[in-house]
Amino acid sequence: MRLVLVGPPGAGKGTQAEFIASHLSVPKISTGDIFRANVTQKTELGLEAKRYMDAGGLVPDEVTINMVRGRLAESDAADGFLLDGFPRTVPQAVALDKMLTDADNGLDLVLELIVEHDEVIRRLSGRRTCHGCKKIWHVEFDAPAHEGICDRCQGELYQRDDDKAETIAERLRVYARDTAPLVDYYGAQGKLVGIDATGPVEDVTVRAIDALRSYG
């Protein structure tokens, strides 16, 4: 299955992507994770991306599209994938359609995670990520047994640089301006299905998998 997850920052895309990708046995491809790995490794791409990420803006389309094109050409994505964080602009969606049409493998479904504004702010402000296994935690909603330490791998947890209040506000503005139009774009293609992404993580996963079953 070829699936895209859309939703505002903090909607739970990364959290759900892990469960859904494993349920579907497809690779999870997160552009945010790829950029962050490049930032950590201080690659040329990472140095360029960091400027935009720290400001809450988007990495330019051309850079992002080329990166995704390369990733989708890898053999593990041949039979399906779950994209988290891409596309994020209409030009990226058009480029993705073109890549997949060329390969005769169109998208099956776009799953929109719907969460109201105040809730995403609460989620982003309390998010912590594991340095080791990258698992996403929350200080209140999904806290590890020992503060600051990952239950799964004992790695240290950190707060993302772009989860500061002023950067969160800018990311939400950018989402409304540049990414929300994708809802109409994919709606017009008949590929969009929206689910309520509030409530416990496991309940959202069940809704997501039910939605895939009815539309897949």
Which residues are catalytically annotated?
A: 13, 88, 127, 160, 171
Q: Render 138-161 in DSSP notation, one character per residue.
A: ETTTB--SSTTB-TTT-PBEE--G
Cα-based angle 93, 46, 173 (whole degrees, multiple of 5): 50
Judged by beta carbon distances under 5 to 8 A according to partner kind, the member of Zn ion, ligand AP5, none in contact with residue 155 is Zn ion
**Token match 């109409």: residue?**
184
- Applying CB under 6 A, among 3, 4, 6, 14 the residue interacting with ligand AP5 is 14
Task: Give the side-chain half-sphere CA count within 13 A for 201.
Answer: 18
- Residues 114-173 touching ligand AP5, rule: CB under 6 A, are 123-124, 126-127, 136-138, 141-142, 162, 171
Is 127 marked within a binding site? yes
Rule CB under 6 A: choose which of 29, 31, 130, 212 binds ligand AP5: 31
**Structure tokens that stand for 169 in this block:** 């506000």
Binding to ligand AP5 by residue 4, rule CB under 6 A? no
Rounded to whole angstroms, the Cα distance separating 45 from 8 reads: 24
The span of 106-114, 152-160, 188-196, 200-208 binding Zn ion (CB under 5 A) equals 152-160
Q: Which residues contact 116 (CB under 8 A, 6 or more apart)?
A: 198
Residue ranges for the known binding site are 10-15, 31, 36, 57-59, 85-88, 92, 127, 130, 133, 150, 153, 160, 171, 199
Residue ranges for the known binding site for AMP are 31, 36, 57-59, 85-88, 92, 160, 171
